[in-house]
């Protein structure tokens, strides 16, 4: 399926290729990422699919699936609409009693940090081919934190790299993905 292939290429060439997430490479190389396409357009149906995927991730052995990318190619609206969906999805973590077990990171083709201008290169760290929700096990996040690589250090390194590449360099990599 083209949507999954596009997402896999983005993970491989951009996220892992640029080492934007230093913890992604081993998960990718072991084939522990589950890619799920949700064709739904309505928030209620998307959160139903999310609930199913959250419960599947909790139940499955991390040696089989470590993390899930829930891809939303038909999502209507702009990035602000997506932001509101993400907030609703994060509430599902609490509703399903998964706080401390699973967390959600979000990506979108038009991702824009609150304190950044639209054209700011820093936005590229969270821009993806399709809107998506990354379901992460808290234990994996904690293990990554204990590795000595702080989130602040990763962000600084990523910003320096993206600034060095510039928007044309980033686009060139993404176009090949």
Q: pLDDT tens digits, residue range 29-81?
A: 999 999 999 999 989 999 999 999 999 999 999 999 999 999 999 998 889 99
How many angstroms separate the CA atoms of 127 and 107, rounded? 6
Q: How many domains does the chain have?
A: 1
- Cut 0.85: pTM above it: yes
Query: Looking at the predicted structure, is the pLDDT value of residue 131 above 90?
Result: yes
pLDDT score recorded for residue 30: 96
Residue 96 banded pLDDT, cuts 50, 70, 90? very high
Q: pLDDT tens digits, residue range 27-40?
A: 999 999 999 999 99
Determine the structural domain holding residue 11 and report its residue range. Answer: 2-176
pLDDT score recorded for residue 149: 72
Query: Looking at the predicted structure, is the pLDDT value of residue 146 above 90?
Result: no
Q: Residue 66 in contact with residue 33, Cβ under 8 Å?
A: yes
pLDDT score recorded for residue 33: 97
pLDDT score recorded for residue 95: 96
Buried b (16+ CB within 10 A) or exposed e, 33-59: bbbbbbebeebeebbebbeebbeebee
Query: Looking at the predicted structure, is the pLDDT value of residue 150 above 80?
Result: no
Query: Given its phi and psi angles, is residue 21 left (phi above 0), alpha (psi -120 to 50 degrees) or beta?
Result: beta
Query: Looking at the predicted structure, is the pLDDT value of residue 118 above 80?
Result: yes
Query: Looking at the predicted structure, is the pLDDT value of residue 121 above 80?
Result: yes
pLDDT score recorded for residue 145: 74
| Mean pLDDT, residues 85-95 | 95
How many angstroms separate the CA atoms of 164 and 177, rounded? 19
């Amino acid at each position: 399926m083209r949507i999954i292939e596009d997402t896999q290429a983005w993970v491989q060439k951009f996220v892992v290729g640029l080492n934007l997430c230093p913890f992604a490479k081993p998960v990718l190389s072991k084939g522990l990422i589950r890619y799920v396409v949700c064709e739904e357009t309505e928030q209620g149906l998307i959160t139903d699919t999310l609930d199913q995927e959250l419960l599947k991730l909790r139940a499955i052995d991390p040696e089989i699936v470590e993390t899930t990318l829930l891809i939303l190619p038909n999502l209507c609206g702009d990035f602000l609409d997506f932001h509101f969906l993400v907030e609703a999805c994060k509430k599902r973590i609490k509703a399903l009693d998964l706080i401390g077990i699973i967390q959600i990171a979000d990506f979108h083709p038009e991702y824009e940090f609150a304190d950044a201008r639209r054209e700011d290169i820093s936005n590229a760290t969270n821009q993806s081919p399709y809107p998506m929700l990354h379901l992460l096990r808290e234990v994996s996040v904690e293990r990554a934190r204990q590795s000595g690589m702080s989130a602040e250090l990763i962000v600084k390194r990523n910003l320096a790299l993206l600034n060095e590449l510039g928007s044309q360099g980033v686009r060139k990599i993404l176009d090949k993905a």
